[in-house]
Amino acid sequence: MTRAVCPGSFDPVTNGHLDIIRRASALFEELVVATGTNASKSRLFDPDERLEMLREACADLPNVSVRGFTGLIVDFCREIDAQAIVKGLRGGNDYEYELPMAQMNAHLTGVETVFVPTDASLGYVSSTLVKEVATFGGDVSGLVPPAVHRRLQERLGRA
């Protein structure tokens, strides 16, 4: 069984994430999408809300499951016997950020990281920008699943 983990903050999940999840799910027998917390980022949705939105968005992918994790991603990979970590890459900045993490994770336990290039049409989409644009009333309806859009509007007092 080849099992991979796709970790992230997913605050909230975007169409960019879902493109990577969908394509990665075709590469591995099983893909576990894992929500963690990036201590350096401010958060709009709590862990349970992020899990719920992800579960709903991935419901049509039979070999994808969604779990939360705390602590090191390498420990979570060991716990569930995952052989690889999958990360999407939008460009050079992502690469600069992800490469040392991939190398550190390989150093810690030998787990490999597989980088999947973002679809060119989604390269500008990030949770951070989606939240910023939505906060100031911009239209992000084409960038997140409809259920996430509804929750964003509610959270920001626009519903």
Both tokens of residue 151? 């929750």
CA distance 51 to 9: 10
User: Would you say 37 or 135 has its CB closer to ligand PNS?
Assistant: 37
Please tell me what DSSP assigns to residue 40.
Answer: T
| Edge-to-edge order in the sheet of strand 112-117 | 64-68, 30-35, 3-8, 84-89, 112-117
Instruction: Determine which residue in the list 2, 38, 109, 128 makes contact with ligand PNS, applying CB under 6 A.
Output: 38
User: Would you say 5 or 140 has its CB closer to ligand PNS?
Assistant: 5
Q: Where are the beta strands (DSSP E) in 9-82?
A: 30-35, 64-68
Select from 18-26, 44-52, 99-107, 134-142 the region that touches ligand PNS (CB under 6 A).
99-107
Residues belonging to the active site: 17, 41, 90, 127
Tell me if 9 contacts ligand PNS by CB under 6 A.
yes
CB pairs under 8 A, 24+ apart, for 100-105?
105/73, 105/74
**Which string of x and - marks every residue 69-88 that binds ligand PNS (by CB under 6 A)?**
---xx---------------
Kindly list the residues in this chain that would bind ligand PNS in the complex (CB under 6 A): 7-9, 36, 38, 41, 72-73, 101, 104-105
